[in-house]
Amino acid sequence: MPTTHHFRPTHYHHTIGSHEPVLTIADGDTVVTTTIDAFGRDEDDAQAAPRGNPMVGPFYVQGAEAGDGLAFHIERITPNRKVGRIFTALAANTVLPEYTGQLPERGEGEFRLDLDEGTATLIHPTTQLGTFSVPIQPMIGCFGVAPVRGQFISTLTSGEFGGNMDYRGFAAGVTVYFPVFMPGALVHLGDVHAWQADGEILGTGIEVSAEVQFSVRVLKSQKIGTVRGENETHIFTAGNARPLDQALQIATTEMDAWLRQAYGLDARSAGLLLGHYVQYEVGNVFDPAYTMICKLPKTALAAFRKV
């Protein structure tokens, strides 16, 4: 029978890689754990680790081997404190170089989180926006599996293993599919945002600590090139690279391969389907690798059964 594990971290990593596992879990198990924010602050708003997307884990998944896939289902993301932090100016790389002198100095601000009402309200700095509130819609900014060949890669960037993708679609109810490169997959997670718009163009979302509940399934011998996912309405793929056009190419390639592999479509059919139904969204455009999302509505796939 699947087990639910309650894990309280005592240390964090600033790389995703083949670290010593903190917990061994089985195929089908659920984990309830806590994360600290990208600034390294915990649920008591105390400094628990240096800033820079500190990760919980890794979690060793029994039976996961190189060449398998891993299904990571996000069951719940619950912010566990009432303050969230942000940067307050557009990132310089999101505007034209000659315009950067028009940007204000980079500073930090704070939002007050009303977890009962589901809103986050800016409390610092004071701006012309008046009472400025956004909905709380938690997402995971950085998570993934250990990269190939025992590499350790900074949690500030991303790749085919996952990492700092900052895609607002990584929310509760979503299943994310990772390729497995190392024994046990070695799952890392952290960097929860209470809210974030597309691109993370400030360099932050509303950064907050959280309690996260997830479950895992091992997909034996399932060939996955890079990150995939699905929610109730869409399947999607993530391309992590720089420049942005390469990220789009990776995401589109992975989607085309997925349609051929899982739905039995030939090359022309997959291309025509994509050409008429594809949707693109932008994940992270702040950090070293950018993220592009290639989406396809499930309604477009209704006539095709997975093989």
Mean pLDDT confidence for 91-114: 96
pTM, entire model: 0.96
**Where do the domains of the chain lie?**
4-82+138-219
Place of tokens 């105390």: 46
For residue range 9-43, what is the model confidence (pLDDT) as tens digits? 999 999 999 999 999 999 999 999 999 999 999 99
For residue range 209-268, what is the model confidence (pLDDT) as tens digits? 999 999 999 999 999 999 999 999 999 999 999 999 999 999 999 999 999 999 999 999
Of residues 211, 173, 176, 206, the one with CA closest to residue 190: 211
Instruction: Say yes or no: domain 4-82+138-219 is CATH 2.60.120.10.
Output: no
Q: In Å, how far are 62, 188, 210 from 65, measured between CA atoms?
A: 9, 16, 30
Residue 1 to residue 4: CA distance in whole angstroms: 10
What per-residue confidence (pLDDT) applies to 303? Answer: 83
For residue range 150-162, what is the model confidence (pLDDT) as tens digits? 999 999 999 999 9
